[in-house]
Structure 1
Amino acid sequence: MIVMKKAYRIKDRDEFAMIFKQGKTSANRQFVVYVLDKPEQEHFRVGFTVGKKVGNAVTRNRLKRQMRELIRLNTTKISQDKDYVIIARKALLDSDFISAEKSLIHVLKRANVWRNS
């Protein structure tokens, strides 16, 4: 199993706040994605969040693991010089892994950060 490296993660609250404030947003039923340009970065970084309305801690952590795996599987197809915050919506609970992946790809295409290479 290949795990997402720490260099690819955003954990700091201030960084989340900066991305929320300065980043561009794109959304669909399952996800909200904030994107902030970072031209000096050689690879992307991503932070995940799931609100308490979505479910209890077990449910929220399961969704975050699922989102991490979706990003890990599609690392090469995402624009590298950006920071991302991905928010799961309650509708994600009703979808399986394949439809969640399609939904995430859809919202990343809407944000113009998906590369078809």
Structure 2
Amino acid sequence: MKKEYRVKKDKEFQAVFTRGASVANRQFVVYALKKEQQTHFRIGLSVSKKIGNAVVRNQVKRYVREACQLHEASLAPNYDFVIIARNPAAKMTAQEVADSLRHVFKRSGVWKRQVK
């Protein structure tokens, strides 16, 4: 995922937390903040040390980034997202992470319907 597609600075994270809407399931909490001037969505990740050691945390982050790239065409482009992983995410496969995130994105209303 390109650097310009990531939420990096603390001020940006805090803006999404304070002004954004949150939706959650058992594995993830997603905060979404609409930004009209953006042409692409941005992702910020937070994986606590409670999830596991560094290897496990990095694996969860890789799976989340992969899922976001997989669903790139289906996500609304003008949003900042902060995704917080919960404990069950540590034991999930990449496909399960993608399915769980799709579920949360659909609940939050940022999932664009696929036209067949």
* TM-score, normalisation: structure 2: 0.94
Q: Is 1:74 matched with 2:41? A: no
Per the TM alignment, residue 102 of structure 1 is displaced from its structure 2 partner at its CA by: 1.0
Matched, 1:56 2:64: no
Matched with 1:35 is 32
Query: What's 1:96 paired with?
Result: 93
Matched, 1:87 2:84: yes
Runs of 4+ in 1 over 3 A off after TM superposition: none
Unpaired runs of 5+ in structure 2? Answer: none
TM-score computed with the length of structure 1 as normaliser:
0.93
The answer (yes or no) to whether the contact 2:57–2:90 under 8 Å persists in 1 is no
1:111 corresponds in structure 2 to 108
Matched, 1:16 2:16: no
What secondary structure sits across from 2:111 in the alignment? coil
Letter in 2 for 1:109: K
* Equivalent residue pairs, number: 114
- Structure 1: which 5+ runs fail to align? none
Of stretches 7-16 and 27-36 in structure 1, the one that deviates more from structure 2 is 7-16
Q: Give SS of 2:76's match.
A: coil
Matched residue type, 2:51: V
Say what the alpha-carbon RMSD is for the aligned residues: 0.9
| Aligned partner of residue 85 in structure 1, secondary structure | strand
